[in-house]
Amino acid sequence: MVERLYRVVDEMKKNVVLVGFMGTGKSVVGRSLAATLGRPFIDMDELIESRAGKPIPRIFAEEGEPRFRGMERELTRELAGERGRVIAAGGGIVLDGRNIMEFSRSGLVVCLFASKEELLRRLAASTNRPLLANGSMEQKISGLLDERRHLYEAIPCSVDTSGLTIEEVADKILALLRENEGCAGAR
């Protein structure tokens, strides 16, 4: 009984890390989930921007994408050493398998999905995502999804957000956190 209580308390101290393609709702859902759990929320993109002193498009333009990926990598190491946080990662966090490995050791990693149509709708007005700038957004989204789909699909815990409200997605993640004994069939 006491052992089980300790296990439950320990489960609740895990980080919850939201990953997924741009526009799947990691930040809005993460903020809502953190408020419900009474935990600190960390948006990795925002933290990288505030530490770099410039927005992501300028980091890409002035320092290059590899430098941005290096910043993501350093921040992942730092955050994976902490506990009890709700973290929204950038969409490209899956590109380096070490990030997912380290975050998985620190808690529950949940991948958010949405249909391509929904992503297009949500991202249409986006101006701060350098990988979607200049040219056909539809083609860029399709190309990146083709390149990355296998990386997102390799994450055992996932939630399909299509047609769901922010609160409904947050509730599904809460259920995963409570029942997390492997995530087969969670999507």
Q: Which residues bind ligand S3P (CB under 6 A)?
A: 22, 26, 45, 56, 90-92, 129-131
Measured in degrees and rounded to the nearest 5, phi and psi for residue 136 equal: -75, 115
Smallest separation, CB 56 to ligand S3P (Å): 5
C-beta of 123 vs 177, nearer to ligand S3P: 123
DSSP summary character for residue 181: S
List the one residue out of 44, 46, 24, 7 whose CA is nearest residue 172: 24
C-beta of 6 vs 128, nearer to ligand S3P: 128
C-beta of 7 vs 77, nearer to ligand S3P: 77
Smallest separation, CB 85 to ligand S3P (Å): 16
If one counts every other C-beta atom within 10 angstroms of the C-beta of residue 42, the result is 20
Smallest separation, CB 4 to ligand S3P (Å): 37
C-beta of 85 vs 129, nearer to ligand S3P: 129
**Looking at this protein, which amino acid is placed at residue 136?**
S
Tokens, residue 15: 């980080």
Spatial distance between the Cα atoms of 59 and 53, rounded to a whole number of angstroms:
9
Q: Are 87 and 95 in contact (CB under 8 A)?
A: no
Smallest separation, CB 170 to ligand S3P (Å): 17
